[in-house]
Structure 1
Amino acid sequence: MMTQHTSARRLAITGANSRTGQQILASVNGDAVALVRKAGDVDAHEVIADWTTSPAARAALGEADAVAHLAGNFGAPTWEDYLAGTVETTRLVAESVKEGTRIVYLSQLGADSFAENWYERAKGMAEEILAPMNATVFRISAIVGGRNNPQPFDFMVRGGSDGGPVPIAGDGAQVFRPIHIDDVVTAILLATQPGAPSGVFDLVGPQEHTMQEWVDIAHGGPTPTTRRSDLPPAIDDLLANPVTPGDPAALLAAFPELRLTEWRP
């Protein structure tokens, strides 16, 4: 299925119906080609569904000057799902674009093709596919949006009800530098520009606290927490044992236009 608007722009976005993809589209007034698995409420110049099997998607990638590659599996039940949804989709992008196309990829802190964690392993394998290309890889961890545009991490630290403990992954001692969704979108759009720096960067925020400290900040004081048991194993491991983020100095040196947002849960 394909729907079209009237303008044209050679920016393609895979996973365009994700939270991040939708906000990128809003920032460019829909002036992009949206590549999605299922057609839905996506406002873009062109929307191509079933993009991993669509000749039209391959053609759009081949015509693109820049690709924001957001597609991938999160919380999948098997390694084969991660392989298909994260690694093979990245291979498809790499094989479809013309030489020199800017590719921006959202990876994960701790991405490593030899990692035991399936999510981190798949992200590491995807990074290896993009390594010889004109690609910027942003390694992220927790994405936040604040009370006006809450993301999953916002809901986690503000969870709980009736004064009960807040359900969290891990024991609360793990460290996060959440990055605001506005900064994620800005960084991606900066990286799609001609001549943007290639390489791998930690896309992290300016504030570092433990999960317990973030919960306490969100609730205005010391707040009890309890260990969640409802997350898929790979995602539970990812949140309970995250790689400690580096500071954003290298990111800001590469993208001096980026201004990181102070976040209050």
Structure 2
Amino acid sequence: MMTQHVNGPRVAITGANSRTGQQLLADLGGDAVALVRRADGVNARTVITDWTTAPAAVAALGRAGAVVHLAGNFGAPNWEDYLAGTVATTRLVADSVTPGTRIVYLSQLGADSFAENWYERAKGMAEDVLAPMNATVFRISAIVGGRENPQPFDFMVRGGDDGAPVPIAGDGSQHFRPIHINDVVHAISLATQPGSPSGVYDLVGPEEHTMQEWVDIAHGGHTRTTRRTDLPPAIDDLLANPVTAGDPTALLAAFPELHLTDWRP
């Protein structure tokens, strides 16, 4: 399925039906090429489905002035799925764009092509693919939206009913700097502009606390927590044992227009 227009939009977005992709599309007024597996709920000027096998997607990537690459696998049950969903799609983008095209990629804190964690390893391999290109890589961790636009991390720290312990990943001692979804979208938009700085930046929030402290803040005082057991192994490891909480110093120096939101769950 493809909807085509004579004067195409400047930005192509892979994984445009993700939470971040949907908000970015709204911020752009839908003026983008959405590259997705299925078109359900995607409101964009141009929509290309089955994008990893569609010739129209390769053509759209070749025409785009900037590509925001959000597609990837999260919580896959095996390594082959991460290779296909994260690494192979990044190679497809890199091979399809014209030289010098701006590429913006959402990676992960701790991304490393030699990491034991499958998710971090795949993200690291994707970063390696983009390293020689005109690419801005944003390493993220916990994305939040507050009570008006809650994201998974919001629900995690606010969970628990009737005084029951709040289910969390890990033992509560791991550190996070949650980044607001509005700041993520703003940073992406800035990075798509011609002449924006290339490189790898920690896209993290202004305030750091442990998971337990974030739960306590959400509930207005010390709150009991319990270890979640329902997460896929790679994602449980990612949240329970984060490599770093990140540091936004380089990010803010590179993108001075970005003002990070103080978030409270």
For normalisation by structure 2, the TM-score amounts to 0.98
Does the 8 Å contact 1:7/1:45 carry over to 2? no
Q: Deviations over 1:167-202 (max 9, x none)?
A: 000000000000000000000000000000000000
1:32 corresponds to: 32
Q: Deviations over 1:97-143 (max 9, x none)?
A: 00000000000000000000000000000000000000000000000
Correspondence 1:1-265 to 2 at 5 A: 1-4=1-4, 8-265=8-265
The worse-fitting range, judged by mean Cα deviation, of 226-235 and 245-254 is 245-254
Q: Deviations over 1:217-252 (max 9, x none)?
A: 001110000000000000000000002223211100
Q: Find the aligned partners of 1:72 and 1:160 in 2 and give their Cα distance.
A: 30
State percent identity of aligned pairs. 83
Instruction: Provide the secondary structure at the position in 2 that maps to 1:2.
Output: coil
Rate the CA distance shift 1:42–1:4 in 2: closer, same or farther, 3 A: farther
Instruction: Provide the secondary structure at the position in 1 that maps to 2:3.
Output: strand
Instruction: Provide the secondary structure at the position in 1 that maps to 2:107.
Output: strand
Counterpart AA for 1:93: V
Counterpart AA for 2:120: E
Does the 8 Å contact 1:141/1:176 carry over to 2? yes
Instruction: Structure 2: state its 5+ residue gaps.
Output: none
Rate the CA distance shift 1:165–1:240 in 2: closer, same or farther, 3 A: same
The offset of 1:7, in angstroms, is 6.3
Q: Find the aligned partners of 1:187 and 1:7 in 2 and give their Cα distance.
A: 26
Q: Find the aligned partners of 2:41 and 2:67 in 1 and give their Cα distance.
A: 21
Counterpart AA for 1:229: T
RMSD: 1.0
Q: Deviations over 1:72-103 (max 9, x none)?
A: 00000000000000000000000000000000
Q: Which runs of 4+ in 1 moved over 6 A?
A: none
The worse-fitting range, judged by mean Cα deviation, of 228-237 and 242-251 is 242-251
Instruction: Structure 1: state its 5+ residue gaps.
Output: none
Q: Find the aligned partners of 1:73 and 1:160 in 2 and give their Cα distance.
A: 28
Does the 8 Å contact 1:169/1:236 carry over to 2? yes
Instruction: Provide the secondary structure at the position in 1 that maps to 2:94.
Output: helix
The offset of 1:8, in angstroms, is 3.1
Q: Find the aligned partners of 1:113 and 1:212 in 2 and give their Cα distance.
A: 30
Q: Find the aligned partners of 2:262 and 2:149 in 1 and give their Cα distance.
A: 14
Q: Deviations over 1:51-81 (max 9, x none)?
A: 0000000000000010000000000000000
For normalisation by structure 1, the TM-score amounts to 0.98
Q: Find the aligned partners of 1:132 and 1:245 in 2 and give their Cα distance.
A: 26
Q: Find the aligned partners of 1:24 and 1:8 in 2 and give their Cα distance.
A: 17
The offset of 1:10, in angstroms, is 1.8
